[in-house]
Structure 1
Amino acid sequence: MPDRVYLDWNATTPLRPEARAAMAAALDLVGNPSSVHAEGRAARRAVEQARAEIGRAVGADARQVVFTSGGTEANSLALTPQVRRNSGFPINSLVVSAIEHASVLAGGRFAPGGIEIVGVNSSGVVDLDRLREMLVDRPPALVAVMAANNETGALQPIAEIAEVVHEAGGLLHVDAVQAFCKIPFNIKELKADLLSLSAHKLGGPKGSGALVIGEGAAGLEALIRGGGQERGRRAGTENVVGIAGFGAAVKAAMASMADEKTRLQNLRNRLEISLRRTRGVIVFSAEVPRLPNTTLFTAPGLRAETAVIGFDLEGISVSSGSACSSGKVQPSHVLEAMGVGPELVRGAVRLSLGWSTTQADIDRCVEAWRKLAGALLKGCDETELERF
């Protein structure tokens, strides 16, 4: 039986060899990184080396990086009414885009009545004009917009959004979990005030993440209180092993990012050309800049749960979108926000590629799709097909 083909990299990635080696070395560090003796200092060095690596990758100082248990905690830490611009007052309202990750849509520590949603267009890009209108003649707000959508791969015009937000006196939080180490950016060019990252989306371990705090943000209230770790911004003994793996994964990913971006984009384009040979196939957000590794597609008559199982039986791992629903196939809130009808939303399948994806993997995926399409789309409505 041939090896399986893994095409669900946006859900999580395999552990990079460099991360595995760093974690193995860190397992032998017996000291608490807050201790002042030699063993403690050795553990502290591992943490600070990773902090510097991550800061360097996003154009920030190491002191701006706060380690968390992952992207969800980083988002929750950022979304607090206590956060403010350096010279301003605490912020009492939160504006989030309709396509955010569930951990952002939950609103962090903002009261439900203080959370508003800004919509997106049919390509999945935030409506800048509507955002501008929402921020006029009101107290400054914290605005949360992800850098790249985890389902469609669509990139947001973060620097333009930042200008709109800052003109209104607000702050911008950017969930960069999917974009980090896939496309080049830094916090200063984005003009973001807060930036969330996660290790397991780029070859690091699950359970390690970070929030990067921009120079213009102040008043961040700790989510987990206790000791004075992370400059008082996140209590608890640091996960030295996970942090070491995070830093090593970032270093490896950044070294190959430019070449991988081109290689993966070429593979993705080849994949999409083949998918579109099936009548009625639609690739979402194909007309706007996207992550180089992401394809979200559907076809009238397709059912995502059936397609995912069919691919799995062919030895290919794909998903129906976000992996945060404990195995449940649920309608995509992202596609609904884009105005996609329920018939097409129910069939959306995501293919996401990574550093070990090969041309042979793509060819196997295409061959599997040809087999599946013949069976899964056999009963679809011809009049539905004619609409696309």
Structure 2
Amino acid sequence: MLPAAVDALLEVSRQVGNPSSLHTSGRAARAVVEEARERIGAALGARPSEVVFTSGGTEADNLAVKGTWLARRAQDPSVNGVVTSAIEHHAVLDPVEYLEGSRGVAVTWLEPDRCGHLAPDTLREALAPGGVAVASVMWANNEVGTIQPVAELAAVAREHGVPFHTDAVQAIAHLPVRFDDSGADLMTVSAHKLGGPVGVGALLARRDAPLVPIAHGGGQERQVRSGTLDAAGIHSFAVALEETVAHRDVEAKRVLALRDRLIEGALGLGLGITVSGCWKAGDATKRLPGNAHVLVPGCEGDSLLYLLDAAGVECSTGSACQAGVPQPSHVLLAMGHTESQARGALRLSLGHTSTEADVDAFLAALPGVVERARRASGLL
């Protein structure tokens, strides 16, 4: 968390009051929430009334996908389709698969190119037959960092009268994300990806977006999201977002330089490492500046992860673990990589705490780690 966000969280955590209560403390807590709503809206190009607070990105994605499908289906039973990409985060992927399996929803999976990029014409073709309730494409991929042409995709969806949702959780810390300019009807954001607290997020939803609740209770947020609001977390979210936006351009350039040095250093070790997704040194238009995703041949990602962890380097494999069984990344498979290639994936994320020393530590540890991982797999 950013230091200012920590201070903000502690400050409001000391106050008593449920924002829905009418007594003095409740009204004070409500004032904190509403001020934060205005600040978050201003930072992201949204009206305050378009900011619906949630517990994070997963809840917001579920509300956007399921809530929109339910609303559109109620309006017209013939509208039964969902269009999304094959490289979405599981917070979108799993709700769509749930609707497909339990409600008989017709799902169209958009296939990306080798870089993980989705062309607007691909969406246009999927929407042409009609009957689609909602389309959802993430702004930037959480594994390989590919940035999608959200405004163009949203324009295509609008041509066909289909509500468009984008998960912007990965994007807002590094890219100039604005809800009003995106053309999207719904947009997911989360505090913890930009130095705010875990457990707080929002769904930005146009006032005319068809949306019904997926959980019922007090109806605190526009009658579409129930639950006692976390005033302290919401206040901290607003502080973190404002600070991130204020320093985003400078910080993105700094992190971009670290990312490029990390990738160039890894490629120069002579270990056969390749980069997945689009990458060009100095370019942050096609890939998030803080994302480095590499494929290490002859290694299992889990072995690399644990060996690097033992050397003081924390990263992820980019693979999902379903029911305790490691599976190769659905993102990499959709991009055309083989299962063997996908098993050697490493994702390294750089942010506001990352330094040159961190990159040096990774590059120093990597040769020995790869050698040990290959020995473990029997390839040395």
| TM-score by shorter chain over 0.5 | yes
User: 1:258-297: CA deviations, max 9, x gaps?
Assistant: 1110000000000110000134211111347110000110
Q: In the alignment, is residue 47 of structure 1 matched against residue 44 of structure 2? A: no
- Render the CA deviation track for 1:107-156: whole Å, top value 9, x for unaligned: 35743433221111111012433322111132243110000000000001
Match of 1:262, as an amino acid? K
Which of 195, 205, 209 pairs up with 1:213?
A: 205
Which structure 2 segments of 5+ residues have no match? 280-284
* Aligned-pair CA distance for 1:98: 0.3
- Check the 8 A contact 1:320/1:350 in 2, yes or no: yes
Question: Are 1:92 and 2:80 counterparts?
Answer: yes
Take 2:360 and 2:297, find their aligned partners in 1: how far apart are those partners?
Answer: 23
Distance in 2, Cα, partners of 1:209 & 1:325: 25
Secondary structure of 2:228's aligned partner: coil
Evaluate the alpha carbon distance shift between residue 380 and residue 289 of structure 1 in structure 2; reply closer, same or farther with a 3 A threshold.
farther
The alpha carbon displacement at 1:204 in A equals 1.2
Out of 32-41 and 203-212, give the one that drifted further. Answer: 32-41
Q: 1:178 to 1:303 in 2, by over 3 A?
A: same
Shift of 1:74: 0.2
Matched, 1:239 2:227: no
Partner in structure 1 of residue 336 of structure 2: 339
Paired position in structure 2 for 1:254: 245
Conserved in 1, the CA contact under 8 Å of 2:144 and 2:277? yes
Structure 1 counterpart of 2:5, from 19, 24, 27:
19
Describe how 1:211-360 pairs up with structure 2 within 5 A: 211-215=203-207, 217-277=208-268, 278-287=270-279, 289-321=286-318, 329-360=326-357
SS at match of 2:146: coil
- 1:190 deviation in Å? 1.4
From the two aligned structures, give the one with the greater helix fraction.
2
Name 2:151's counterpart in structure 1: 159
Deviates further, 218-227 or 186-195:
218-227
What amino acid maps onto 1:155 in structure 2? I
Residue 325 of structure 1 and its aligned partner are, at CA, apart by: 6.0
**Which residue identity does 1:28 align to in structure 2?**
R
After superposition, the C-alpha distances for 1:197-218 in whole angstroms (9 at most, x for unaligned) are: 1111111111111000125x43
- Asked whether the 8 Å contact 2:172–2:189 carries over to 1, the reply is yes
* Aligned residue type for 2:34: E
Greater Cα shift, 179-188 or 318-327: 318-327
1:67-82 aligned at under 5 Å gives the runs 67-79=53-65, 80=67, 81-82=69-70
Distance in 2 between the 1:82 and 1:323 partners?
Answer: 28
Give the Cα separation in 2 of the matches to 1:95 and 1:30.
Answer: 44
Q: How far apart, in 2, do the equivalents of 1:372 and 1:309 lie?
A: 9
Residue matched to 1:199: 191
Amino acid at match of 1:71: G
Could you tell me whether the CA contact under 8 Å between 2:60 and 2:203 is conserved in 1?
yes
Say if 2:47 is the partner of 1:61: yes
The offset of 1:257, in angstroms, is 0.8
Once residues 78 and 324 of structure 1 are traced to their aligned partners in structure 2, the CA distance between those partners, rounded to angstroms, is 25
Please list the CA deviations of residues 153-202 of structure 1 after superposition, one character each: whole Å capped at 9, or x if unmatched. 00011111112111111111000011112111211221111000111111
Structure number with the bigger relative contact order (C-alpha 8 A, sep ≥ 6) is 1
Partner residue in 2 for 1:133: 125
Tell me which residue corresponds to 1:103. Answer: 91
Match of 1:121 among 113, 123, 126: 113
Residue 222 of structure 2 aligns to a residue in which SS?
A: helix
Name the residue aligned to 1:373: 370
How far, CA to CA, are the matches of 1:234 and 1:326 in structure 2?
Answer: 30
Task: Say whether 1:31 aligns with 2:36.
Answer: no
Partner Cα separation in structure 1 for residue 278 and residue 210 of structure 2: 40
Worse-matched range after superposition: 177-186 or 332-341? 177-186
Structure-2 separation of matches of 1:56 and 1:112: 39
Q: How many angstroms does 1:83 deviate by?
A: 4.1
Matches of 1:337 and 1:130 in 2, distance apart? 15
Give the conservation status (yes or no) of the 8 Å contact 2:328–2:343.
Answer: yes
Separation in structure 1 between the aligned mates of residue 271 and residue 362 of structure 2, nearest angstrom: 17
Equivalences, count: 365
Residue aligning to 2:282: none
RMSD in angstroms over aligned alpha carbons? 2.3
Q: From the superposition, tell whether residues 354 and 322 of structure 1 become closer, same or farther in structure 2 (CA, over 3 Å).
A: farther
CA deviation map 1:324-371 (0-9, x unaligned):
869864310000000101111000010001101111111111101122
Counterparts of 1:360 and 1:346, CA distance in 2: 28
Q: Could you say if the C-alpha distance between residues 252 and 34 of structure 1 is closer, same or farther in structure 2, counting changes exceeding 3 Å?
A: same
Amino acid at match of 2:201: G
- 1:22 CA drift (Å): 1.2
**TM superposition shift of 1:92:** 2.6
